[in-house]
């Protein structure tokens, strides 16, 4: 049985994330577990996710889930804006809500940097070289 769709195609936050993610070399999008996932050979960003708190599922529908650079991960884990997503958190992935800010307050440069770092952690070397050459 397929997962229900848990996003809206006309979400303006998804549109901004999509523009950034699909601007990376050979990046594509698919729906995985009911949510948008951006990938090359491996996923580098999910839009939306959830976490468990005291046995209850807490949805974060307007969030990015990324795999941060190893050097940045400790600091990001100390930042209260970041949370550990269910399932992926054990492998170093972190979530960041975008809906907590008004769209005008979102630091899209920071979002682009997080997507870039996650892309570099998951993409084949030849694509990282292509990104560096831009």
CA nearest to 45, candidates 69, 74, 67, 20: 67
- Residue 100's pLDDT is 66
At residue 88's C-alpha, the angle toward residues 65 and 127, to 5°, is 60
Sequence spans of domains, the chain: 12-133
H helix and E strand count, the chain: 4, 6
CATH number for the domain whose boundaries are 12-133: 3.90.1150.30
CA nearest to 66, candidates 121, 123, 25: 121
| pTM of this structure | 0.93
- Residue 2's pLDDT is 79
Per-residue pLDDT 10s for the chain (134 aa) are 778 898 999 999 999 999 999 999 999 999 999 999 999 999 999 999 988 888 888 889 999 999 999 999 999 999 999 999 988 988 999 999 997 655 567 899 999 999 999 999 999 999 999 999 99
Cβ atoms of residues 118 and 89 within 8 Å: no
């Amino acid at each position: 049985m397929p997962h229900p769709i848990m996003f809206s195609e006309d979400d303006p936050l998804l549109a901004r994330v999509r523009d950034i993610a699909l601007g990376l070399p050979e990046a594509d999008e698919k729906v995985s577990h009911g949510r948008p996932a951006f990938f090359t050979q491996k996923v580098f960003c999910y839009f939306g996710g959830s976490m468990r708190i005291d046995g209850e599922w807490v949805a974060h529908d307007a969030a990015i889930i990324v795999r941060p650079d190893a050097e940045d991960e400790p600091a990001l884990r100390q930042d209260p804006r970041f949370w550990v997503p269910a399932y992926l958190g054990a492998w170093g992935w972190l979530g960041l809500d975008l809906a907590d800010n008004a769209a005008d307050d979102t630091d899209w440069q920071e979002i682009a940097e997080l997507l870039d770092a996650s892309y570099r952690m998951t993409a084949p070397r030849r694509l990282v070289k292509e990104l560096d050459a831009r």
